[in-house]
């Protein structure tokens, strides 16, 4: 596979010689400038105390535009960006809006799924040695209503069950819709999907009630919301704990939060990507698609 080499692969995978110190100062770090580099989904590859690397997707539509890249953060809070070529013999996705690791797999390499706004899901493995992806399958999320615009898709294992959660973003007075069900990884089908409406109190105006989502290993659903006033903004965003999933007999149930209150608010940013970090770092990574202003990331710790 063709690979754009913007920097040393050794830097990406942690052979740094910096003094060991925690990564991620809690301030925004620019990833790339320009509209073509907005981050619409993010998933962790590897996190250490002194370096971390992530896969990110861009919501580009043109044939010559980048869909997938690696973002690496060093102990000095410097950002490195490595765009990856999409496999030439695989369907080219249009408008990728979310990215998640696949927690249940017997494959030797880590696997991920990236979903488009129409509900088309691209399932692939990531080869760290070759720094490339290998296609596995493409499938559709079930019963996506006409006119939907999906901006969140995540997988999580809960009590031995593989939970799939996805969301139509909603807009203004139209609530977002969160869908969920158990994913059969062999058949790539979602069993008995259910749905619930979600409307956030802030941002206001031209708000996307859900711009991305992730589920933690206890079933907690975290969402981001964003106000989008056009390519030059202004933007505003918030983070919410929206509720909890739990296995209930044969079903996976969702208990919505009794009240939605922002756990973080960001003026001037359009957050469209979220990843929940595990030890030793912890916290939450947020990524932006700030349109003409490019993309940035920040670590949020509640």
Q: What is the pLDDT of residues 61-90, one digit of tens each?
A: 999 999 999 999 887 778 999 999 999 999
How crowded is the C-beta side of 91, counted as CA atoms within 13 Å? 16
Measured CA to CA, the distance from residue 61 to residue 95 in angstroms comes to 6
pLDDT of residue 3: 35
> Any bridge partners for residue 98, and if so which?
115
Q: In this predicted model, which residue has the larger pLDDT, 129 or 281?
A: 129
Q: Tell me: pLDDT of 130 over 70.
A: yes
Question: pLDDT, tens digit, for every residue of 200-228?
Answer: 999 999 999 999 999 999 999 999 999 99
Q: Order of strands across the sheet with 96-101?
A: 96-101, 111-116, 120-127, 132-140
Query: Three-state SS across 117-146?
Result: CCCEEEEEEEECCCCEEEEEEEEECCCCCC
Confidence of residue 47 (pLDDT cuts 50, 70, 90): confident
Whether the pLDDT of residue 262 is over 90: the answer is: yes
Q: What are the φ/ψ torsions at residue 230 (nearest 5 degrees)? A: 120, 180
> Taking a C-beta distance cutoff of 8 angstroms, is the pair 238, 264 a contact?
yes
């Amino acid at each position: 596979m063709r690979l754009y080499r913007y920097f040393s692969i050794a830097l990406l995978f942690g052979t740094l010689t910096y003094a060991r110190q925690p990564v991620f100062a809690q301030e925004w770090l620019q990833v790339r400038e320009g509209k073509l580099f907005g981050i619409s989904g993010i998933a962790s590859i590897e996190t250490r105390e002194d370096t971390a690397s992530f896969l990110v997707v861009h919501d580009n539509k043109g044939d010559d535009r980048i869909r997938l890249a690696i973002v690496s953060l060093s102990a000095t809070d410097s950002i490195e960006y490595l765009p990856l070529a999409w496999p030439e013999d695989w369907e080219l996705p249009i408008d990728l809006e979310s990215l998640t690791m696949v927690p249940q797999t017997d494959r030797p390499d880590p696997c991920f799924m990236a979903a488009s706004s129409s509900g088309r899901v691209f399932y692939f493995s990531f080869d760290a040695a070759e720094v490339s992806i290998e296609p596995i399958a493409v499938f559709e999320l079930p019963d996506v209503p006409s006119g939907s615009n999906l901006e969140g898709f995540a997988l999580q294992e809960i009590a031995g069950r593989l939970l799939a959660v996805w969301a139509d973003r909603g807009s203004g007075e139209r609530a977002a819709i969160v869908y969920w069900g158990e994913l059969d990884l062999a058949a790539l089908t979602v069993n008995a999907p259910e749905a619930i409406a979600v409307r956030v109190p802030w941002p206001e105006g031209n708000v996307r009630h859900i711009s991305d989502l992730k589920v933690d290993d206890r079933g907690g659903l975290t969402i981001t919301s964003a106000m989008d006033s056009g390519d030059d903004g202004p933007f505003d965003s918030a983070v919410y704990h929206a509720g909890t999933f739990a296995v209930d007999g044969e079903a996976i149930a969702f208990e919505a939060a009794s009240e939605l209150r922002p756990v973080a608010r960001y003026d001037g940013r359009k957050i469209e990507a979220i990843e929940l970090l595990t030890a030793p770092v912890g916290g939450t990574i947020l990524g932006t698609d700030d349109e003409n202003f490019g993309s940035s990331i920040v670590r949020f710790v509640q």
